[in-house]
């Protein structure tokens, strides 16, 4: 069957049912699923990443899962290149494409190109500003010369704003800003697409997050993190939700219930940040999942894309 549907994005904060919705829709339109997520790429992280079930993956091809080890660095630039090749392959096999997940930065970079997809990161900026306060602006400028000499040539050593931005982009993507400016555009001009965002009322979402945290601990999250901590973790892997919280428990800094509560709290905060990011994306068509079953949402999306 020829590909008849646009590339469909199903995005939104954690715990809104995106995996089930994507799976049911993929069955309906003969699609394969690509994950837009910075954690499911790691082979050793099954519980904390809440990967789709093995049954789902056996029934429908899922891409960008179990791609590399937690010791390997991975960034938005690598992701965008990998996914563009994956889309081409799926289309070549005359299948439809569904892209699902909660990474707004990965989504935007894939759509609009790497450079346009890199928005400001307040936490990283705070760290860069702290280094300026401690070591001075010239220390940061020297760092820029090392990681991106092309940008340093065009930026004055006194231009704090542009130095901070260039280093922010490098830290977020692993690629110099001078190279990213030259990279090709995203997929938005290559394929028709539709963006659907799945949301839930805050109270319902927080209940789901609490249940997921409890389930993770019951399923062996502590053992998973202990195994992870025995490995040399990349910067991205070290920041996975659950690693820091369970490490505190393993170090005797809190008990198991406190670690679980902390994971739930930090996941709620993460969901807030996700929604802040996605709300800025005006192309998203929002669907509320609170009172609707996954099948109902799938039918709604199916009707909308069938009219594209």
Is residue 64 helix, strand or coil?
A: coil
Question: Which DSSP string do the residues of 112-177 spell out, in sequence order?
Answer: H-HHHH----HHHHHHHHHHHHHH-HHHHHHHHHHH-HHHHHHS-TT-HHHHHHHHHHHHHHSS-H
How far apart, in whole angstroms, are the C-alpha atoms of residue 162 and residue 67?
34
Using CB atoms within 10 Å of the CB of residue 81, give its burial: 0 to 12 exposed, 13 to 18 middle, 19+ buried: middle
Q: CATH number of 122-180: 3.40.50.280, 1.10.20.140, 3.40.50.720, 1.10.3720.10?
A: 1.10.20.140
Written out in words, the top-level CATH class of the domain with range 7-113+184-306 is alpha beta
| Statement: residue 274 has pLDDT above 70 | yes
Is residue 84 helix, strand or coil?
A: helix
Distances (CA, A) of 130 to 124, 126, 133: 10, 6, 5
Are 7-113+184-306 and 122-180 in the same CATH fold? no
Q: 185 falls in which pLDDT band (50, 70, 90)?
A: low
The CA angle 145-233-262, to the nearest 5 degrees, is: 110
Q: 117 falls in which pLDDT band (50, 70, 90)?
A: low
* pTM attached to this predicted model: 0.79
173-183 per-position pLDDT tens digit: 777 877 766 55
Return the pLDDT at 75: 84
Domain residues of the chain, as ranges? 7-113+184-306, 122-180
Tokens 């299948």 locate to 95
Return the pLDDT at 13: 95
Least confident span in 155-159, 171-175, 227-231, 233-237: 171-175
Q: Rounded mean pLDDT of 85-89?
A: 95
| Statement: residue 227 has pLDDT above 70 | yes
């Amino acid at each position: 069957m020829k590909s008849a549907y646009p590339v469909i994005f199903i995005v939104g904060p954690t715990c809104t049912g995106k995996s089930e919705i994507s799976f049911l829709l993929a069955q309906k339109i003969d699609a394969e699923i690509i994950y837009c997520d910075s954690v499911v790429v790691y082979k050793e992280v099954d519980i904390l990443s809440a990967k789709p079930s093995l049954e789902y993956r056996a029934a429908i091809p899922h891409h960008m899962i179990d791609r590399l080890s937690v010791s390997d660095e991975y960034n938005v630039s690598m992701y965008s290149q990998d996914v563009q090749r994956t889309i081409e392959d799926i289309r070549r096999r005359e299948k439809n494409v569904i892209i699902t997940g909660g990474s707004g930065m990965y989504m935007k970079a894939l759509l609009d190109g790497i450079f346009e997809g890199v928005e400001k990161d307040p936490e990283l900026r705070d760290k860069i500003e702290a280094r300026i306060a401690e070591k001075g602006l010239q220390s940061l400028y020297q760092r820029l010369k090392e990681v991106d000499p092309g940008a340093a040539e065009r930026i004055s050593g006194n231009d704090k704003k542009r130095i901070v931005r260039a280093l922010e982009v490098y830290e977020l993507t692993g690629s110099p800003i001078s190279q990213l400016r030259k990279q090709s555009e995203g997929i938005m001009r290559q394929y028709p697409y539709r963006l659907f965002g799945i949301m839930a009322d805050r109270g319902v979402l927080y209940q789901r997050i609490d249940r997921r945290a409890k389930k993770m601990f019951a399923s062996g999250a502590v053992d998973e993190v202990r195994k992870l901590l025995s490995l040399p973790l990349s910067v991205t892997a070290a920041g996975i939700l659950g690693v820091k919280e369970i490490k505190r428990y393993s170090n005797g800094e809190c008990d198991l219930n406190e670690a679980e509560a902390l994971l739930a709290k930090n996941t709620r905060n993460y969901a807030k940040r996700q929604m802040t990011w996605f709300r800025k994306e005006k192309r998203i068509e929002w669907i509320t999942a609170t009172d609707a079953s996954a099948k109902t949402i799938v039918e709604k999306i199916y009707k909308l894309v069938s009219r594209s």
